[in-house]
Structure 1
Amino acid sequence: MILWFTVIQLVVAVAAGLLGVVLGLAGRRPSDLTVGALALVELLLIVQVVVAIVAPFAGNPPTGSVLEFWTYLVSAVLLPAAGVGWALIERSRWSTVIMGIVALSVAVMVWRMQVIWTIQVA
C-alpha cells in the first residue's frame, strides 16, 4: 500500500461518512450527493485493489498476513455497493445514515489494511 493514497482514502471515506450521518440525522433522504460520495469511496477502493496487485511486483510486498489483508479489501469493496443498494431499495433518512456508517467503516478497514501491509510481521 502507498501511504499518501491511504491518507486520501481515509479523508474521503471519513468526509463521506460524516456527510451521510449528518444529512441522515437531519432527515435527508439519499441523494446524488450522498450516493456520489459513497461511489467515490468505492472508486478509490477499486484503485486500491489494482495497487495491491501491482505493489508486490514493484518491490513493496506486505509484511503481514496476505489473507487477512485481502479479506479486509474484498469486504471493504463490497460494503459501499451494499450500502447504495440498501439506499435505493429503502429511500428513507436511515438509509442515508447507513451509507454514512458504511463509509466510516471503510475508513477503519483501510487503516487496518495499511497496518497489515506495513507494520505487522508475518
Structure 2
Amino acid sequence: MILWFTIVQLVAACGVGLLCIVLGLAGRRPSDLSVGGLALILLLLIAQVVIAIVAPLAGNPPSGSALEYWVYLVSAVLLPPAGVAWALIERSRWSTVIMGIAALAVAVMVWRMHVIWTVQVA
C-alpha cells in the first residue's frame, strides 16, 4: 500500500463518516452530499483494488497475509454500496447515520489493511 494514499482514504472516510453522522443526528435525510461522500469513498477503494493488484507485480508484496488483506479490501468495497442501498430503501435520518457508520468502518478497515501490508512479518 502507498502511505499517502492510505492517509487520503482515512481522511476522506473519517470526514464523510462524521459528516453523515452529524447530518443524520440533525434530522437530515440522505442527500446528494451524503451519498456523494460514500461514492467518493467507493472510488478511492476501487483505486485501492488496482493498487493492490499492481503493487506486488512492481516488487511491493504485503508483509502479512495476502488472503486477510483481500478479505478486508473486498468487505470494505461492499460497505459503501450497502449503505447507499439502505439509504435509498429507507429514506430517514437514521439511514444517514448508518451511512456515516459504514464510512467510519471503512476507515478502520483501511487502517487494518495498511497494517497487514506494511507492519506484519510473514
Q: TM-score, normalised by structure 1?
A: 0.99
Letter in 2 for 1:82: A
Unaligned ranges ≥5, structure 2: none
Structure 2: distance between partners of 1:46 and 1:53: 11
The percentage of aligned residue pairs carrying the same residue is: 80
1:33 aligns to 2:28 (yes or no): no
CA-atom RMSD, angstroms? 0.3
Aligned to 2:58: 58
Cα deviations by residue, 1:15-62 (Å, 9 ceiling, x for unpaired): 000000000000000000000000000000000000000000111100
Structure 2: distance between partners of 1:117 and 1:36: 29
Structure 2: distance between partners of 1:116 and 1:106: 15
Cα deviation for residue 121 of structure 1 reads 1.0
Aligned to 2:116: 116
Aligned to 2:83: 83
Matched pairs, number: 122
Unaligned ranges ≥5, structure 1: none
Secondary structure in 2 matching 1:121: coil
Q: TM-score, normalised by structure 2?
A: 0.99
Letter in 2 for 1:32: D
After the TM superposition, list the runs of 4 or more consecutive aligned residues in structure 1 that deviate by more than 3 angstroms: none
Structure 1: distance between partners of 2:66 and 2:4: 21
Structure 1: distance between partners of 2:4 and 2:49: 15
Structure 2: distance between partners of 1:58 and 1:5: 17
